[in-house]
Structure 1
Amino acid sequence: MSKLFKLKQWLTLEDAAKRLSTTLGGQVTVADILQLALDGSLRLSVNFVNHAYAKCCRRVPIKEATYQEVPSIENPAITVRLYKGPRTDSEVFEYKDGLVKLIGIYTLSMVGAERLDVDHRLQMETSGPVVTLIDLDGTFVENGDGYIYQVRDIHQDKKISADNSYPAGGLPDDAVLVMRTSDITRFEASLDAEDEEPSKTNTTERENLLKMLGGMALLLAEKGGKYKRGNKPNAASIANEVSELIEHHPNSNLYGMSTRNIREKLSEAIRLLADS
């Protein structure tokens, strides 16, 4: 690994393609990177060169999210759930007050219109069709602090405020897609691990390891603050901290250590400990 690569926090997609071409021993194009990102094999980020505005959102499991029952627009006789922000099948992004300014590098969440932007760029790289789909929930990015940010546009000739903003239909025109060097390292580590023999850990050993993990999460939650949500450990915040710590640990093996994977394992561990 070159010293310059270690010093850099991110690479352009073109430089990332050159790096991976060397790693894989064959030509890797920007289109390959975009396709791998859409497939979920690697993470892309965006550089907000001239900043952007966003709503900061809490990530709340959908079973724990608050909502109101309101009449359906299509059929007032039927009620629907109105959450405090956009939602996926498993989470609700509950809005916090006000707007925040995004400057620098943020990771694409790949749950909203940012995914369509990546697909559009891929189609342009491969002379494909124009992507005309839209995502009404907007564009989402994150930076490892446990929150997710919905990029907002400001109504023309209006004061910059949350009330005068609306969900952006895509990334700003002056935003640049990039790759964090830590994500490149993680992807390379995952390729090296594919040739390794799978773990022989049996079910009992795995459950015991998960229980120990759950116990450590409970211990950390006792300190309160961002590590606790209600009476339970905040798996998302703990996972983000663990992921950041591992990324900066020298010679660490990053295979299987994505923030999402850590969060899922923590949630599983806490459930297993509660049921035992």
Structure 2
Amino acid sequence: MSLKLSRLKQWLTLEDSAKYLSLAIDEDVAAADLLQLALQGDLTLSINLVNSHYARTGLKVPIREAQISKTSIEGQTATGKPPAIHVEELQGEEKDAFLDALIETKAKSHFKAPDASGEHGEIREQMALATTTPLPQSHSFVDFKGDLLPDYSGVLEFDRDSVQQITGVWDLPMVGSESLEIKGAFYDDIEGPDLDWVKLCGVILKHPTANRWANLIERFDDTRKEVEPKNFHPSGSLPEREPLIIRRDELQRFVASLEDSSDNAAPASPDDMPEDVDLLMAAWKAHWKGRVSERDRTTWPLHSNVKQWLIERGMSDRLAGAGATMITPDWARKGGRR
């Protein structure tokens, strides 16, 4: 494995990724290190689905925009009458109050965040904090339309009425059964304890570049041949014989993050050094350093993209344009700005 050869590959196996990082940071790196980094959230693992696999697909919706329903059960008394059940969408001030209380309680760590399994017992208990006018002799609880992510960053809303087939490279976001499988592989590698529990939501995958998520599913049994949602259930493990990989751009990002950490550990800059210098250095590392080929202009970042990157981090439009030009290597300027 060479660093030059790796630039021709869109992704590397775990073994080759370990060799790549060993060369890039001049330290011994093993596959187990990559698994541990992935479990910590410092490195993104992916899987290459060479064969097509059944899945439910959907989007990640910001938690404030997610659809939430409130179910009220009334009449649970000794009258003998059957309870009345009312389901309505939570909206307006009531929705805002519920989410505010939910997020505040999460921030204070009063209860464990629910995983993406759809089991929202903790959320239903939290409804008591958000409901300002509880009905007498009634019980109310809420449910998100989709699966609330553990960090509360959003809700995964899958289309449960259709079955899709997916292939290609997908990231492992570590919010479903895939996290337990990686954890099991890590402990197997270091001869640690066995894991015998799974997350009910199954395997969750994320597209590397788009807001597209997938929940892998499998048939209940081989006798049900029809491709209908009712004949499938969430898959509890990653597909066999499909390789775990790391995308090349993710490896480059990780190496750059290590360099940034090293830079941050260096002595502070003089007080009179412009604050924009650090931002320009970060932009150069993010868009040019180790990411482009001098002979291949298609690898060069667009000037407009670099400028926008700087603007999003607080630089003015005028300075961002000048800064994007400033960090462009001399050989790229002579070759024509893209």
The TM tier, using the shorter chain, reads 0.5 to 0.7
TM value normalised by structure 1: 0.68
Instruction: Note the alpha carbon deviations across 1:170-191, whole angstroms, 9 max, x for none.
Output: 2122322111111111101111
Letter in 2 for 1:95: F
Contact 2:3 2:24 in 1 (8 A): no
Whole-angstrom CA distance in 2 between matches of 1:154 and 1:174? 19
Which structure has the greater CA radius of gyration?
2
**Residue 20 (structure 1) aligned with residue 21 (structure 2):** yes
Instruction: Note the alpha carbon deviations across 1:1-57, whole angstroms, 9 max, x for none.
Output: 733211111111011111111122221111100001111111100122322111111
Two-structure CA RMSD over aligned residues (Å): 3.3
**Residue 153 (structure 1) aligned with residue 153 (structure 2):** no
Letter in 1 for 2:144: Y
For residues 190 and 121 of structure 1, do their structure 2 counterparts lie closer, same or farther at Cα, with a shift above 3 Å needed? same
Alignment partner for residue 195 of structure 1, among 228, 237, 262?
A: 262
5+ unaligned residues in a row in structure 1: which ranges?
A: 210-242, 253-261, 267-276
**Residue 84 (structure 1) aligned with residue 145 (structure 2):** yes
**Residue 66 (structure 1) aligned with residue 67 (structure 2):** yes
For residues 71 and 127 of structure 1, do their structure 2 counterparts lie closer, same or farther at Cα, with a shift above 3 Å needed? farther
For residues 39 and 199 of structure 1, do their structure 2 counterparts lie closer, same or farther at Cα, with a shift above 3 Å needed? farther
Question: Which is richer in strand?
Answer: 1
Q: Where do 1:251-262 residues align within 5 Å?
A: none
- 1:250 is displaced (CA, Å) by 3.9
- 1:152 is displaced (CA, Å) by 1.1
User: After the TM superposition, which of the residue ranges 103-112 and 66-75 deviates more from structure 2?
Assistant: 66-75
| Structure 1 residue matching 2:7: 3-state secondary structure | helix
- 1:106 is displaced (CA, Å) by 0.6
Contact 2:158 2:214 in 1 (8 A): no
Whole-angstrom CA distance in 1 between matches of 2:228 and 2:185? 30
| Structure 2 residue matching 1:81: 3-state secondary structure | strand
| Structure 2 residue matching 1:129: 3-state secondary structure | coil
Whole-angstrom CA distance in 1 between matches of 2:166 and 2:47? 11
Whole-angstrom CA distance in 2 between matches of 1:155 and 1:163? 9
For residues 199 and 53 of structure 1, do their structure 2 counterparts lie closer, same or farther at Cα, with a shift above 3 Å needed? farther
Letter in 2 for 1:11: L
| Structure 2 residue matching 1:163: 3-state secondary structure | helix
5+ unaligned residues in a row in structure 2: which ranges?
A: 74-119, 125-136, 280-286, 293-297, 302-308, 314-338
2:246 alignment partner in structure 1: 179
Letter in 2 for 1:123: Y
Whole-angstrom CA distance in 2 between matches of 1:30 and 1:71? 51
TM value normalised by structure 2: 0.56
Whole-angstrom CA distance in 1 between matches of 2:30 and 2:70? 49
2:87 alignment partner in structure 1: none
**Residue 132 (structure 1) aligned with residue 196 (structure 2):** yes
- Count, aligned residues: 215
